[in-house]
Amino acid sequence: MGETKRFGVSLSEQLLNEFDKLIESQNYSSRSEAIRDLIREALVHSEWKEGNERCVGTISLVYNHHTRELLSQLTSIQHDYTDEIISSTHIHLDAHNCLEVLAVSGPADKLKEVSNRLRSTKGVIHAKLSMSTTGEKIT
């Protein structure tokens, strides 16, 4: 992280009041920290839009393991992405449902592809790709 710079922001009183209410409800201790997080969020969004940037994230999947062929299909898809899936955790939620969390790293387009293939598999109840960052450019 380089030197900290200060800059002024002009905005309407109404917008500032709404912003202050929002960040208070989210437990921010200062406007600066809230604004830093908004900027980071925009930069992460941009990294994922680039397509070929190296990104990291998680994919969570919830499914009923009794669904016919589902487990083997999900495993087969995951074996097509051994470079991108760097970790996986399987949690048995109850007698029927499972939660699987995959940590993924690689080009954004490839990570979206694996997420889409898993989500669209018949029998998957819910799937979510959480887009994060390597943190290399964002501090």
Q: Closer CB to Ni ion, residue 92 or residue 137? A: 92
CA torsion angle 101 107 110 111 (round to 10) = 20
Q: Each residue of 96-115: b (16+ CB within 10 Å) or e?
A: eebebebebbbbbebbbebb
Q: Least separation, in Å, of the C-beta of 93 and Ni ion?
A: 7
Q: Closer CB to Ni ion, residue 58 or residue 105? A: 58
Q: Closer CB to Ni ion, residue 101 or residue 138? A: 101
Residue nearest to Ni ion (CB): 98
Q: Closer CB to Ni ion, residue 73 or residue 132? A: 73
Nearest CA-CA partner of 98 in 71, 137, 69, 135: 71
Q: Least separation, in Å, of the C-beta of 8 and Ni ion?
A: 54
> Do residues 23 and 37 touch, judged by C-beta distance below 8 A?
no
- Binding-site ranges for Ni ion (CB under 5 A): 92, 98
Q: Least separation, in Å, of the C-beta of 96 and Ni ion?
A: 9
**132 beta partners:** 56
Q: Least separation, in Å, of the C-beta of 102 and Ni ion?
A: 14
